[in-house]
Structure 1
Amino acid sequence: MNKLTTLLNLESDDELFKLITSTFKEKITQWDYFVDWNKVFRNITPIEKELNLLNVLIGKENIEEEAFALIKEYPQVLRAFPTLIAIRENSIDILIETKNFIYKRFSFTNSLLTDEDCEEAVEFLMKSGIGELLRDKKIKNLVDYATGVEVGLDSNGRKNRGGTLMESLVEDFVAETCNELNIGYMAQATASKIKRDWNIDVKVDKSSRIIDFAINKNGKLYFIECNFYGGGGSKLKSTATEYVEMNKFWTEQGIEFIWITDGAGWKSTLKPLREYFDKTDYLLNLEMLKKYFLNIIKN
């Protein structure tokens, strides 16, 4: 019988698994999930002067001539070009002839520009559509425009922030529990940190292994991994399989392994989660973490 089943005085493991799977959270969205504003402005600041220089092109009818002159005098404005078209690369290859697949490379790092280089930069500005937007005043201020672009690019980081949000939620309970019991815990724990701070030797399966949280209760270790899955997919199955082996690896060293996972994604992927549950001792979701985590560590 599962240790948690006994701890909670439930009649069967089936009852415990039903309790876990019936209380998954749909979302854990908090305010800092949407946009990492520090990151946005951290990316804008290095090119803010270049964007303001390019602002002089707004509303220019003879924009190609004006752009050539501007780039010739201030070649550093090329540094802002990637942001204008929402890319991170400092160069890009454009397919310019489809029959023979001929590409043309545009680079945005060269500070010593020939007239030909300047002409190519103007070509890029116009053919990318940015030149037309500037000429027709569809863009009022390039700093504001670039800020919007960065917000869009930052949306790609929401998946990672979802994981960070889960860790933050779990840490609240871990910290509260450890403070109440007057024991130590460590976030982003590694074998070297555990040895350094607690003088406990831990064997790891790979040198890069980082544990979300480690708790030291008078020399007894608890390792915690946590994640949140808003959607399904093969990742859930592979994670469950990996954690079965991880649980075995830690248990053989006398370390208690606790997996805290949640999210509606599990609702369509219960089989691998059940396989993990049947082979391990501690599977929790956020609701159960809130109610029972203290009891697990106390016992």
Structure 2
Amino acid sequence: MPIRQHRPSTDEFVEDFQDTIVPSAIPSSEFIDWDGIEDEIENYEVQIEAILELQDTSEEEFVEGLADALMEANDTRKWIDFYFEILGERGNKYSALEGVWKFYDIQRAIDSGARETARDLADILQEIGLQYIVNEADVRDHFRGMLVGMESHARKNRQGVCFEELVGEKIGAIADRLNDAGYFVEMDAEYTTEYNDESGQEKTVDFALFEDGDLRLVVEANAYKVGGSKPSEIRRSYNHVAQRMRKDGVAFVWITDGQGWAKSLTNVLRQSYDDITDLYNLHQAETQLPADVERFFETGEV
């Protein structure tokens, strides 16, 4: 059985959950990773200085200068990545109407001494507009701006990291509360446990609580800034996990939040509560989960 003691109707739960949603786990102070951006600029200082030496050169001199730098590089891929990041492209290849340039193949050819490959790549970089940037912009400021633009991708990972940190703080506080109440409780993060059956399958969870060395409760943490199919897929997966954990006498708790759970995901939220029940947003994890967990430790009922 679930550990949740406050069990309103599904409609009441959904209303309370959506009324107390935290839109994003990323605080404004961490919206842009300025320290990381400055570290990235410093990491490419050699490349920046080298490309500045090609300022106000002819097109031919610029292309030959890029080719020379690529041929002389100790870490060819780093130079290739820098050139394309300046142009706003990040990945393993560059694609255009004219064809596809795969960076690993190019790196391997240049490292084997193929200057023609280096020059062909330099031609493409010049054609895209690298020389224009070097001549018309402050390269460091331009690169900084490009990195800020790329932060939207980085924030997808940062959202999850920040949310897990918030959940970890709450689970840690619950562990402290239990220890103060006389239990011997330890918390672990990224814990992998095998199911107590013959399947041989295992599950890695975000957080786990142990009493006297025995696994008692596991927690999964997910935040959704936008809707989509992922929450529904996770719901089905976690419902399966929760059932198997409870058979092993282990409580399963799902803490989730984010503006993705607003009205567009109401039906998924309803199904999640009906199936899993031990479902909490951050506000509910603060106000309801501690007492629920403490009672579970008292009774051992799952």
> Which bracket does the TM-score occupy, shorter chain normalised?
0.7 to 0.9
Aligned-partner SS, 2:44:
helix
Q: AA paired with 1:35?
A: I
2:167 maps to 170
Moved over 6 A (4+): 203-206
Structure-2 separation of matches of 1:204 and 1:168? 34
Superposed, which structure 2 residues align to 1:7-156 within 5 Å?
Answer: 7-8=5-6, 12=9, 14-31=11-28, 33-37=30-34, 39-41=36-38, 43-60=40-57, 62-69=58-65, 71-72=67-68, 75=71, 76=73, 78-79=79-80, 80-89=82-91, 91-96=93-98, 103=99, 105=101, 109=107, 110-111=110-111, 116-117=116-117, 119-134=119-134, 137-141=135-139, 143-156=140-153
Q: AA paired with 1:256?
A: A
Q: Do the aligned residues in 1 keep the contact of 2:24 with 2:159 (CA within 8 Å)?
A: no
Given the alignment of the two structures, is residue 212 of structure 1 paired with residue 212 of structure 2, yes or no?
A: no
Given the alignment of the two structures, is residue 287 of structure 1 paired with residue 283 of structure 2, yes or no?
A: yes
Structure-1 separation of matches of 2:19 and 2:270? 13
Q: Percent identity between the aligned chains?
A: 23
* 1:251 to partner: Cα distance: 0.8
Q: TM (normalized to structure 2)?
A: 0.78
* 1:116 to partner: Cα distance: 3.6
* 1:131 to partner: Cα distance: 1.3
Q: AA paired with 2:207?
A: F
Structure-1 separation of matches of 2:277 and 2:92? 50
Q: Do the aligned residues in 2 keep the contact of 1:259 with 1:282 (CA within 8 Å)?
A: yes
Change (3 A) 1:287 1:233: same
2:299 maps to none
Structure-2 separation of matches of 1:41 and 1:204? 52
* 1:123 to partner: Cα distance: 1.5
Q: Do the aligned residues in 2 keep the contact of 1:34 with 1:155 (CA within 8 Å)?
A: no
Given the alignment of the two structures, is residue 271 of structure 1 paired with residue 263 of structure 2, yes or no?
A: no
Q: TM (normalized to structure 1)?
A: 0.78
Q: AA paired with 1:287?
A: H
Aligned-partner SS, 2:218:
strand
Question: How far does the alpha carbon of each residue in 1:22-63 deviate from its partner, in whole angstroms, 9 at most, with x for none?
Answer: 322233331454233454455444532122111012233x24
Structure-2 separation of matches of 1:92 and 1:261? 37
1:99 maps to none
Question: How far does the alpha carbon of each residue in 1:80-108 deviate from its partner, in whole angstroms, 9 at most, with x for none?
Answer: 32222233346535432xxxxxx364755
* 1:174 to partner: Cα distance: 1.0
* 1:252 to partner: Cα distance: 0.9
Question: How far does the alpha carbon of each residue in 1:134-156 deviate from its partner, in whole angstroms, 9 at most, with x for none?
Answer: 2xx32223x44333323322320
Aligned-partner SS, 1:269:
helix
Given the alignment of the two structures, is residue 180 of structure 1 paired with residue 180 of structure 2, yes or no?
A: no
Aligned residues: 278
Change (3 A) 1:220 1:127: closer
Question: How far does the alpha carbon of each residue in 1:169-205 deviate from its partner, in whole angstroms, 9 at most, with x for none?
Answer: 111111112112222111111128xxxxxxxx86697
Structure-2 separation of matches of 1:39 and 1:202? 43
| Larger RCO (CA under 8 A, 6+ residues apart) | 2
Structure-2 separation of matches of 1:205 and 1:49? 54
Question: How far does the alpha carbon of each residue in 1:112-169 deviate from its partner, in whole angstroms, 9 at most, with x for none?
Answer: 65664454244223211111232xx32223x443333233223202112111111111
Structure-2 separation of matches of 1:26 and 1:205? 39
Q: Structure 2: give runs of 5+ residues left out of the alignment.
A: 180-184, 296-302
Q: AA paired with 2:23?
A: E
Q: Do the aligned residues in 2 keep the contact of 1:23 with 1:287 (CA within 8 Å)?
A: yes
Q: Do the aligned residues in 2 keep the contact of 1:2 with 1:13 (CA within 8 Å)?
A: no
Equivalent of 1:227 in 222, 225, 228: 222
Change (3 A) 1:15 1:217: farther
Q: AA paired with 2:61?
A: E
Q: AA paired with 1:242?
A: S
